[in-house]
Amino acid sequence: MQDDLAVALRLADAADAISLERFGAADLHVVAKPDLTPVSDADLAVEQQIRALLEQVRPEDTVMGEEFGSGDETARRRWVIDPIDGTKNFVRGVPVWATLIALFDGDEPVVGVVSAPALARRWWAATGLGAFASFADRGAVPCKVSGVTDLADASVAYSDREEWIRAGRIAGFDALLASAWRTRGYGDFWSYLLVAEGAADIAAEPELNLWDLAALVPVVREAGGVFTDVGGAPIGPGSVSALATNGALHEIARATLAPAE
Mind listing the pLDDT tens digit for each residue in 102-123?
A: 999 999 999 999 999 999 999 9
Residue 108 assigned to a binding site: no
pLDDT at 25: 82
Which domains are present in the chain?
2-142 (3.30.540.10), 151-257 (3.40.190.80)
What would the pLDDT profile of 151-172 be if each residue is shown by its tens digit? 999 999 999 999 999 999 999 9
Residue 84 assigned to a binding site: yes
Q: Over the chain, what HEC string results?
A: CHHHHHHHHHHHHHHHHHHHHHCCCCCCCEEECCCCCEEEHHHHHHHHHHHHHHHHHCCCCEEEECCCEECCCCCCEEEEEEEEECHHHHHHCCCCCEEEEEEEECCEEEEEEEEEHHHCEEEEEECCCEEEEEECCCCCEECCCCCCCCHHHCEEECCCHHHHHHCCCHHHHHHHHHHCCEEECCCHHHHHHHHHHCCCCEEEECCCCHHHHCCHHHHHHHCCCEEECCCCCECCCCCCCEEEECCCCHHHHHHHHCCCC
Stated pTM of the model: 0.94
Residue 85 assigned to a binding site: yes
Residue 247 has pLDDT above 70, yes or no: yes
pLDDT at 32: 73
